[in-house]
Amino acid sequence: MDRTSVKIVVAGGFGTGKTTMVGSVSEIPPLTTEEVLTQASVGVDDVTGVEGKTNTTVALDFGRITISDDVILYLFGTPGQDRFWFMWDELAQGAVGAVVLVDTRRLESSFAAIDYFERRDIPFVAAVNRFWGECQYSEDEIRSALELQPIVPMVWCDARDRSSSKQALIALVQHAMARMLVARSASQPRS
């Protein structure tokens, strides 16, 4: 049986819930490269809004979800700190798209991730992580603050919840497939 492997990136700023999302949906124990935040990171890693954070991803997170007998999603979570961004090019290579996690308490931490995927024309969805409870902003307010293009789907999720995280992944796959179909039909010769 031929299996289709689909690579998806879970991205976002420092402390947005990437490791949590990969862990919540993976059918295998996720591979993580988390290290303890040390005194050396003081002044380097901005923990404003995530003061209780004690660990951080230094390379990647990896998980897997079998969608059907012939489709498997491979999830690659990115590190969130600027000093580890050199990993993003490797992790994004060959990906069909990305889920960019957004923390509305620290919207600015999502700008670089959104810019990254826009510049490379990689399909992505903005997933507003309700990890910390209800969001006080509307979808229009968040879209405006992030300057999301109308074509970019925005979804609400809780990265801790398997079902919620799966819905964000489904939204991404649907968005990536729709973009692929549009690109394919645009490249077809007209009769």
Give 83-96 pLDDT, tens digit per residue.
Answer: 667 778 888 999 99
Q: Is the pLDDT reported for residue 164 higher than 90?
A: yes
- What average pLDDT score do residues 92-116 get? 92
Quote the pLDDT of residue 141: 94
**Structure-token match 């990536």, residue found:** 176
Length of the chain: 191
- What average pLDDT score do residues 160-173 get? 94
Domain count, the chain: 1
d(CA 110, CA 106): 8
* CATH label of the domain that carries residue 102: 3.40.50.300
The boundaries of the domain holding residue 129 are 4-187
> pLDDT tens digits for 23-67?
999 999 887 766 555 555 545 555 555 555 555 555 578 999 998
SS3 89: helix
Q: Could you give the strand order of the β-sheet that contains 31-36, starting from the edge strand earlier in sequence?
A: 31-36, 55-68, 71-77, 4-12, 97-102, 124-129, 154-157
> pLDDT tens digits for 52-63?
555 555 557 899
SS3 98: strand
